[in-house]
Structure 1
Amino acid sequence: MSNILSVKNLSVKKSNKEIINIEDFTITEGSITSIIGENGAGKTTFILTMAGLLKPSTGTIFFKNKMIKDMPLSEYRKNISIVFQENLLINDTVYNNIAMGLKFRKFHISSIEKKVDDILHRFKISHLKYQKANTLSGGEAKRVSIARALVIEPQILFLDEPFSSLDTLSKEDIITDMIKVLKENKITVVMSTHDKYEAFRLSDSIIVLEKGKIIQKGLKEEIIKHPANSFVASFVGVENIIEGIIIEKKSGSFIAQVKNKYIEGIGDFEVGNKVLLCIRPENIFISRYLSESDTSARNIFRGKIIEILDYGHFYRVTIDCGFNLISYITKTSLIKLSLKLNDIVFVGFKAMSVHTITMV
């Protein structure tokens, strides 16, 4: 796949304060990329700049290897669409809202009718065709907004926190319908979000912004397995993030001290390094009776259950081992082990399950 959009040495300043500073960023044609980060990280500014709605202070944006600043802005914008958090529909019928972009592009009336009817059908809103936009529910308005963006078959679709106002069921239904259209038409997508479900559900790749800079980028599987810092680890669902210090270095592994306990992990770290030890809760097991001869896990701790939360399909169990560890277990396991608050149990996890981040 060829690159469709790339950024070089991009800086955006507001009131002399730098909001975005991106050295290098490339998007592959047909890919779906999510931009994640905390509030104020610069996600929206980055989206708006790439979409040509904000002028960068310095740097260059390339569309299909051509500098955007060297082409008429209208030419670039004909190839892109953007959906905002707010739906921004005009006070007219659903049909006229969706047909707007096609009319600007001088499509023939018969072609407009065909394309609008098709997208209405795909997003299950044909029955709303002649309804006024100001009478729509939030979910209906979002479907219209996305349909309007996709009906022109853009080469790039920018999404800025598009689903933040929707309930879970509405969000899932819309995402399912949207993915079908995106895949069939091989549309490139760049989306900003603070919702990990949206990022994992939609994306091929993820970039993480912090204070306007990219701190990690890669395939979503890489981000999940190897988060760069505590924010990324927390975002991808690593609930166990424990501070420790390396006290022993081995060949390809290490021992870290956590309070008066010791955790073994995999990696090349120097004695004295302060680290964050990240363990996903699904990689931590619980047992009533356990010894080192019963398991290949290198890390076994005795502790007391201090919290059990019912999450529907599984339970979230917190164990005080001198430091807290969180484990996810099934209802079947909870019942089989007869777990309850204040029970003394053993918890364990493999050295391979520890992802380690050096603290700065």
Structure 2
Amino acid sequence: MRQVVLEIADIKVFRNKRQTLTIETLAISAGEIVAIVGPNGAGKSTLLQLINMHLSYKTGTMILFGEDVARADKHSLRRRSSMVFQETMLLDDTVFNNVALALRFRGMAERDIKGKVNKVLADFHCAHLATRMARKLSGGEAQRVCLARALVYEPELLLLDEPFAALDSPTRNTLLAELRLVAIARGTTVILVSHNFNDVLYFAERAVVLQEGCIVQDDSPAVILRRPVNAIIASLIGMDNILPCQVEKQGDDIFIQLVNGVRFAWMGEVVPVATVCCLPGDALYIFDEQLSYQYNSSIVMEGNVSKIVPGIGMYRIMVETKGVSLTVRVPREQVTSRVSIGMHLKIAFNPMEAQLV
């Protein structure tokens, strides 16, 4: 069993007499790579500041590295963590000296510093920048150096407050993948704050979803991607189809009525107050009459193709069905050979792929 690095219980944080964070329970084990996600104003950065001991709390407990933060030497605990911000905040000095600074603060001998700095620069593919002035680096290079500086003294916990938000998507994805490999190799526990769920998919093995200062979902990214707990989280993760619906009960049977008139029996967990049906785009498919015997439980809808959005491997087809636009994700070869704008199309889905919220 892995050692628990962080335990939070019944903590409430207030700012200007307003409650901004309420964490009933949160535990993170050594070596876990966790993302904290949520809409703007959800309390993501506030939670990270709490973990970094920059915020006080009046109720509850926080145990960090096995010590109660309220009674511990915070300076000593903080030296076991490292934090990277969105702003690079590099000194007007060489890359080497920027990365070496934390080791010099800790009194390490210069002969030992050189080896550690060169190793961590190599880990992030920026050893060739060692003599470059930090202020002359590109955005991606600067964040590589910030990561190297944060990890050079081998912290047990790395906190990341949206450090890649200003970078272009390819650079961000590359850095996330590289950081993940380095963290796993070192056994470092990582907590990443991000409003971009794609970051989570590239990086984390677990996602903690915040909304209005509370944890509303804590699961693997794969589960959250297909089973968001509400419409706001569904929108955050980029759910393709978020459809108004009604839950109807007839005797012992439950039916779901979609806004486009489609009605189907519901065999999943009953959510009496559900008003939204979420359907991932890849849960919908082009219905093939000749293979209909394979789809006994499928719900079939008809409509016209309004738009086709190309993609790598998968295309997105927008189909208008009785005033509702549905997004279907299908393999490229199906689109190029079978689908065109304005075409009348039958699409189908298995009700068990739906998520009611």
TM-score range, shorter chain: over 0.9
Tell me the equivalent position of 1:144: 145
Tell me the equivalent position of 1:340: 340
**What does 1:20-169 correspond to in 2, within 5 Å?**
20-169=21-170
What is the CA–CA distance in structure 2 between the aligned matches of 1:344 and 1:163, rounded to whole Å? 43
What is the CA–CA distance in structure 1 between the aligned matches of 2:292 and 2:185, rounded to whole Å? 53
Query: Residue 188 of structure 1: CA displacement?
Result: 0.2
Q: Does 1:275 align with 2:279?
A: no
TM-score when normalising by structure 2: 0.93
Gaps of 5+ in 1: none
What is the CA–CA distance in structure 2 between the aligned matches of 1:258 and 1:291, rounded to whole Å? 25
Query: Residue 145 of structure 1: CA displacement?
Result: 0.5
**CA deviation profile, 1:277-314 (whole Å, cap 9, x unmatched):** 11110111113757964632431111111222223432
Moved more, 62-71 or 180-189: 62-71
Tell me the equivalent position of 2:311: 311
Tell me the equivalent position of 1:202: 203
* Contact 2:39 2:236 (C-alpha < 8 Å) held by counterparts: no
Rate the CA distance shift 1:95–1:249 in 2: closer, same or farther, 3 A: farther
TM-score when normalising by structure 1: 0.92
**CA deviation profile, 1:154-184 (whole Å, cap 9, x unmatched):** 1000000011011122223322322221011
Tell me the equivalent position of 1:15: 16
Tell me the equivalent position of 2:287: 287
Query: Residue 317 of structure 1: CA displacement?
Result: 0.8
Rate the CA distance shift 1:243–1:63 in 2: closer, same or farther, 3 A: same
**CA deviation profile, 1:320-358 (whole Å, cap 9, x unmatched):** 222332101122101221x2222111110112211222x
Query: Residue 57 of structure 1: CA displacement?
Result: 4.1
* Contact 2:84 2:163 (C-alpha < 8 Å) held by counterparts: yes
Moved more, 6-15 or 32-41: 6-15
Q: Which amino acid in 2 is paired with 1:230?
A: A
Q: Secondary structure at the match of 2:200?
A: helix
Q: Secondary structure at the match of 1:88?
A: coil
Rate the CA distance shift 1:342–1:261 in 2: closer, same or farther, 3 A: same
How much identity, in percent, do the aligned residues show?
Answer: 27
Moved more, 149-158 or 238-247: 238-247
Q: Secondary structure at the match of 1:70?
A: coil
**CA deviation profile, 1:36-90 (whole Å, cap 9, x unmatched):** 0111111111101101122234332111331012111111011000000111111
Q: Secondary structure at the match of 2:327?
A: strand
Q: Which amino acid in 2 is paired with 1:341?
A: I
What is the CA–CA distance in structure 2 between the aligned matches of 1:195 and 1:166, rounded to whole Å? 12
* Contact 2:287 2:300 (C-alpha < 8 Å) held by counterparts: no
What is the CA–CA distance in structure 1 between the aligned matches of 2:290 and 2:352, rounded to whole Å? 19
Q: Secondary structure at the match of 1:69?
A: coil
Tell me the equivalent position of 1:246: 247
Gaps of 5+ in 2: none
Moved more, 218-227 or 95-104: 218-227
Q: Secondary structure at the match of 1:183?
A: helix
Q: Secondary structure at the match of 1:54?
A: coil
Q: Secondary structure at the match of 1:266?
A: coil
Q: Which amino acid in 2 is paired with 1:349?
A: F
- Size of the aligned set, in residue pairs, is 354
What is the CA–CA distance in structure 1 between the aligned matches of 2:237 and 2:249, rounded to whole Å? 29
Query: Residue 216 of structure 1: CA displacement?
Result: 0.8
What is the CA–CA distance in structure 1 between the aligned matches of 2:290 and 2:244, rounded to whole Å? 25
What is the CA–CA distance in structure 1 between the aligned matches of 2:141 and 2:193, rounded to whole Å? 21
Query: Residue 7 of structure 1: CA displacement?
Result: 0.9
Tell me the equivalent position of 1:257: 257
Q: Which amino acid in 2 is paired with 1:316?
A: R
What is the CA–CA distance in structure 2 between the aligned matches of 1:333 and 1:351, rounded to whole Å? 23
Q: Which amino acid in 1 is paired with 2:135?
A: N
What is the CA–CA distance in structure 1 between the aligned matches of 2:161 and 2:269, rounded to whole Å? 39
What is the CA–CA distance in structure 2 between the aligned matches of 1:98 and 1:250, rounded to whole Å? 68
Q: Secondary structure at the match of 1:21?
A: strand
Q: Secondary structure at the match of 1:143?
A: helix
Tell me the equivalent position of 1:179: 180
Query: Residue 195 of structure 1: CA displacement?
Result: 1.2
**CA deviation profile, 1:118-174 (whole Å, cap 9, x unmatched):** 011111111211221111111111001010001111100000001101112222332
Q: Which amino acid in 2 is paired with 1:355?
A: Q
